[in-house]
Amino acid sequence: MRRSMIAGAWRSPSVRRAAAALGDLLLPRSCVACARLLDYGDRGLVCGRCWSRVHELPYPRCERCGHPLAREHCAWCEMLPPYVRAARSVCWIPGETAGAIVHALKYAGWRGVAEPMAARMARLPWPEDVLAERTAYVPVPLAPTRLRERGYNQSALLALALAARCHVPVRESCLVRTRRTATQTRLTPEERRHNVSGAFAVPASERPTIRGAHLVLVDDVITTGATLGECAATLFAAGARIISIVTFGRAPAIGDAG
């Protein structure tokens, strides 16, 4: 009888809330982006205040590439090849808060940050043909050595979380990295393109599965577009009909409004 009464008490929402509050008091949790203690009611790894400080890309945006339009002509579209149908991103990177969120996922081991990032990526508006045609999400792959060091691919985590929300499958094996590349952080745009040139491949066994498909590449951040551009070119050369791109962050170009 006593055991059943205890079990019944734990089903009560008020008891669960009180237990959660006591747990937060005894074992306080900190936001992985700002390191402040999470407020009561914050159940994620990133606090609500940090999410409110993420600066989303302003409107108006280009219908094709999703980049904010500072002028009538979209210069950002010029770097996209014709087989890239559309591109979308949530916010500006670098940005103090958004950059800290990406860092927590990518370098600090906080895998759980991928889900709320993907939730915001899933809400991005797309052209109707992209929504109707997209066949699969394809995460940008890591080199095997880097994957072993990190223990996971942050782009794959984002793709899997997107897939669960949008009911689009993930094809992680259709794009592989053939060699480890230097970090792109301190490279010029030209050096970035040279760094990733020939760094990706589609296994022969995967080519029939992507032939004629509309694939959506997934990554955490797009800066100059060198890595995603090389991935798109590799998929297109292997038989994909068209490629779209989605990322959480996007680096601003000169003249962009914040």
pLDDT tens-place string over residues 35-55? 999 888 788 899 999 999 998
Mean pLDDT (whole number) for 14-34: 63
Mean pLDDT (whole number) for 215-233: 93
Q: How many separate domains does the chain show?
A: 1
Is the confidence at residue 200, as pLDDT, over 70? yes
CB 118 within 8 A of CB 72: no
SS3 annotation, 173-210: HHCEECCCCCCCCCCCHHHHHHHHCCCEECCHHHHHHH
CB 225 within 8 A of CB 190: no
Is the confidence at residue 7, as pLDDT, over 50? no
pLDDT given at position 41: 78
Distances in Å between the Cα of 191 and the Cα atoms of 74, 145, 168, 185, 199 are 24, 22, 34, 11, 14
Mean pLDDT (whole number) for 195-219: 91
* Assigned token pair, 229: 């551009």
Q: What's the pLDDT tens digit per position in 94-149?
A: 878 999 999 999 999 999 999 999 999 999 999 999 999 999 999 999 988 889 99
Asked whether residue 32 is assigned to any structural domain, the reply reads no
What whole-number distance in Å separates Cα of residue 118 and Cα of residue 122? 6
Is the confidence at residue 13, as pLDDT, over 90? no
Residue 81 backbone phi and psi in degrees, to 5 = -70, 160
Structural domain of residue 200, as residue ranges? 54-250
Asked whether residue 28 is assigned to any structural domain, the reply reads no
Secondary-structure breakdown of the chain: helix, strand, coil percentages, each rounded to the nearest 5: 45, 15, 40
Is the confidence at residue 203, as pLDDT, over 50? yes
Most confident residue range from 14-23, 51-60, 206-215, 246-255: 206-215
Asked whether residue 122 is assigned to any structural domain, the reply reads yes
Residue 98's CATH number: 3.40.50.2020
Asked whether residue 222 is assigned to any structural domain, the reply reads yes
Asked whether residue 257 is assigned to any structural domain, the reply reads no
Mean pLDDT (whole number) for 237-247: 97
Q: Which residues contact 123 (CB under 8 A, 6 or more apart)?
A: none
Mean pLDDT (whole number) for 147-153: 92
Asked whether residue 175 is assigned to any structural domain, the reply reads yes
Percentage of the chain exceeding pLDDT 70: 79
Asked whether residue 13 is assigned to any structural domain, the reply reads no
DSSP letter for 143, please.
P
Q: Which residues contact 193 (CB under 8 A, 6 or more apart)?
A: 224, 226, 229, 230
Asked whether residue 199 is assigned to any structural domain, the reply reads yes
